Amino acid sequence: MPRILGDSIILREYQSSDLPYIRNWVNDPEIVDNLSDIFLYPHTEQATEQFLNAMLDNNNVHQRGFVIAHKDTEEYIGQIDLFKLDWKNRSAGLAIVLGNREHLGKGYGSQAIKLLQEFAFNRMNLHRLQLEVFDFNQRAYHCYLKCGFKEEGRLREKHFIQGRYADMIVMGILKSEYVERKK
C-alpha cells in the first residue's frame, strides 16, 4: 500500500520495529477499555507478534491497515485499519487506536480518519465505512462526528465493563456524504 501524507502524520505500512510500541498499549486499561472485548484478557507478546506478522504478511483480503506515524520521524503513534472488507457491497469497518495517552487530543485521530476516508472512497472505491464506539467514549464519538460519521443505531447495554452495561453506538458514512463534506 502507498504511504499517505497528512499535515503532521503519515499513514504508513506496518513494520517489525512497531512491536514495542504496540506492546506498550495492548495491556493498558486506559487504552483498551475503549476497544473491543478482544482485549478482555492480557495479550501475550506472542499474540501481539502474531497480529503484527499477519499485518506484515498482508494476506488477509478482508483486512488492510496502516500505522499512524509522526510525519517527520515515522515513529508509531497508533494504527487505523479497515476490516470486514466487503468487495461486493463496497463497504468496510474502520478501527483506530492511538497507542499512547500523550497523543490524545492533538488531532492525530481525526487527521488519520480523514486520510483513510480519502483513500477508502477515492482509491479503493468503497461506498460505505462503518465503526462502533461505546457510549462512554465521548472523545472518540465527537471525533467521529467531526469526521462526518452519523449515528445509525445503538445496541443498548451491549457491553459490560467496570460493573455496568454500556451502549454500543453504530456509526457510518457514505461516499456521497464524504464528497458533499469536501465541497
Q: For position 15, which CATH number holds?
A: 3.40.630.30
Quote the pLDDT of residue 180: 92
For 111-166, write each residue's pLDDT tens digit: 999 999 999 999 999 999 999 999 999 999 999 999 999 999 999 999 999 899 99
Q: How confident is the model at residue 83 (pLDDT cuts 50, 70, 90)?
A: very high
Quote the pLDDT of residue 48: 93
Quote the pLDDT of residue 1: 53
Query: What is the rounded distance in angstroms from the CA atom of residue 171 to the CA atom of residue 128?
Result: 11
Tell me the residue range of the domain where 164 lies.
4-182
The total number of structural domains that make up the chain: 1
Query: What is the rounded distance in angstroms from the CA atom of residue 49 to the CA atom of residue 125?
Result: 31
Rounded (10°) angle between helices 45-57 and 19-26: 130
pTM of the model: 0.92
